Amino acid sequence: MIPDLGKYAVPVLASYGVSLLLIAGLVWASLRRSARIKRALEETESRRKSNG
C-alpha cells in the first residue's frame, strides 16, 4: 500500500520511477555486455586452440 504522499505524489513517485529505471537499465546493460564479451572471448580462445 502506497503511503499518502498528498500534493507531492508526482515528484516523489517520479523520483523513484526514474531512479529505479536508471539503476535497472545500468544493471541490465552491465550483465548483457558481460555475458556477450565472455562468450565472444571463449569462442576466440577455442578457435585459436583448434587452429593450433
Partner 1 sequence: MNLNALWEYANPKKFIATTDRVLPFVAWMAALLLVTGLVWGFFFTPDDYKQGATVKIIYLHVPAALMAINAWLMMLVTSLVWIVRRHHVSALAARAAAPVGMVMTLIALATGALWGQPMWGTWWAWDPRLTSFLVLFLFYLGYIALWEAIENDDTAADLTSILCLVGSVFALLSRYAVNFWNQGLHQGASLSLDKKENVADVFWYPLVVTIAGFVLLFVALVLMRTRTEIRARRMRALLARERMQA
DSSP class of 51: T
Shortest gap between Cβ of 20 and partner 1 (angstroms)?
8
CA dihedral 44, 47, 48, 50 (to 10 degrees): 160
With a CB cutoff of 8 Å and minimum separation 6, the contacts of 12 are 5
- Give the number of residues in contact with partner 1, rule: CB under 8 A: 31
**List 34, 46, 49, 50, residue binding partner 1 (CB under 8 A):** 34
Residue 24 grid cell = 535497472
Residues that bind partner 1 (CB under 8 A): 3-9, 11-12, 14-16, 18-19, 22-23, 25-27, 29-31, 33-34, 37-38, 40-41, 44-45, 48
